[in-house]
A = this chain, B = another copy of it.
Amino acid sequence: MNKKNRVTSYDVAHAAGVSQSAVSRVYRPGVSVSKKTREKVLKAAEELGYKPNAIARMLINQSTGMIAVIISSRANVNFPEVLAQLNKHIAEKNKRVLLFTLDDAEQLETVIEQILAYQVDGVVALTAHFEPDSVTQFAKHNIPVVLYNRELPDHSVSSVCCNHDQGLRMLVDILVSHHHQHFLIMAGPKDSDVARARLSGARNALLSHGFTDTNVVYGDYSYDSARECLSAYAEKNALPTAIICANDTMAIGAIDEIRENLNLRVPEDISVVGFDGISASSWHSYQLTTVSQPTYFMTKAAVETLVNLIESPDIPPETRYWPGKLIEGNSVAAAPRDNE
């Protein structure tokens, strides 16, 4: 035993009266070991409490079985769910999640250094603060990367994304079919890719119905920011009949602001739609019409894409879009008549 009291394959070999190679072979599948040796080794291992040292194994195998997952702590609300599911799918592939937080651009260099040092097999990036240059660094070191809900302009890196355009089109179609003509877009933070994608999705959908130049206010995905920016908007502008929010949390904030401070009703006076399908969106007080992301399938796809890349690095980068699922709540009604 060494200083740290760790039982090594040599200790087991000694106790079992065999060589270290024999011990190693017992723990590798598909290698020929006689039944007698195997039993001796397992018995000794059991008695000593031996567990193969994964670190040593990583060194010789040139593969760590670790996947770096990069998150930003102030990400969109459904990240916990996404993280838990990612972790599950990664565990099923017999790999582990090594977690990194990236909150601002400053930390970028440090985090990348660390990820490279840890020799991870691959990277899943859930964060906004992740420049194309950084991705290049991983490429240089032959580390496959999959982006989650984010795509590079040149699609040089594999991505798994919810189809925000399609989701927003469904929401806008519903609003338009309810005769709405006066819209407000409540967008998410300008530095978030998802927020940008949803904003442009909303604009495109409105454009296709002939609505140009829709007003936009910007929040930061939070309930409070939604209330503040709507309240500020209402002071200087005529109210819209429909608000398209970048996520459910802001939609809920908007609804509360409309009811409490603007003294109007949702959906009778103003219709509100969200995006994400968080559990609060179905609560009785809100019953949001929203689009939910198929996170189960998206996380599964992300892990599969990554594992394939790890096994065959030459697979060209692929972008997979998943359609959102419309959830019709009770936050959309026919637009009030203009002269009302």
A contacts, CB < 8 Å to B: 2-6, 49, 51-56, 58-59, 62, 64, 66, 69, 71, 73, 79-80, 83-85, 87-88, 91, 96-101, 113-114, 116-119, 140-142, 222-223, 252, 256, 259-260, 279-280, 283-286
A256 to B286, CA, bound (A): 11
Measured between beta carbons, the chain B residues less than 8 angstroms from A99 are 69, 87, 96-99
A334 to B154, CA, bound (A): 63
Besides the contacts A96-B98, A252-B283, what 14 more A-B pairs have beta carbons closer than 8 Å? A2-B62, A3-B62, A5-B142, A54-B118, A55-B55, A55-B118, A59-B59, A80-B80, A80-B83, A83-B83, A88-B101, A96-B99, A98-B99, A256-B283
Main secondary structure of the interface of A (DSSP, over half): mixed
Measured between beta carbons, the chain B residues less than 8 angstroms from A98 are 66, 96-99
A101 to B83, CA, bound (A): 11
B113 & A51 in contact (Cβ 8 Å cutoff) = yes
- Shortest A153–chain B CB gap in Å is 25
Residue of B nearest to A72 (CB): B84
Measured between beta carbons, the chain B residues less than 8 angstroms from A49 are 140-141
Residue of B nearest to A62 (CB): B4
| Contacts A49-B140, A83-B80, A91-B101; A54 near B119 (Cβ below 8 A) | yes
Residue of B nearest to A53 (CB): B119
Residue of B nearest to A73 (CB): B84
- Shortest A312–chain B CB gap in Å is 15
B84 & A96 in contact (Cβ 8 Å cutoff) = no
A55 & B58 in contact (Cβ 8 Å cutoff) = yes
Residue of B nearest to A50 (CB): B116
A55 & B64 in contact (Cβ 8 Å cutoff) = yes
Q: List 23 A-B contacts (CB under 8 A).
A: A4-B62, A51-B116, A51-B117, A51-B141, A53-B117, A53-B119, A54-B118, A55-B59, A55-B118, A59-B59, A69-B99, A73-B85, A87-B101, A88-B101, A91-B100, A96-B99, A96-B100, A96-B118, A97-B99, A98-B98, A99-B99, A222-B279, A260-B284
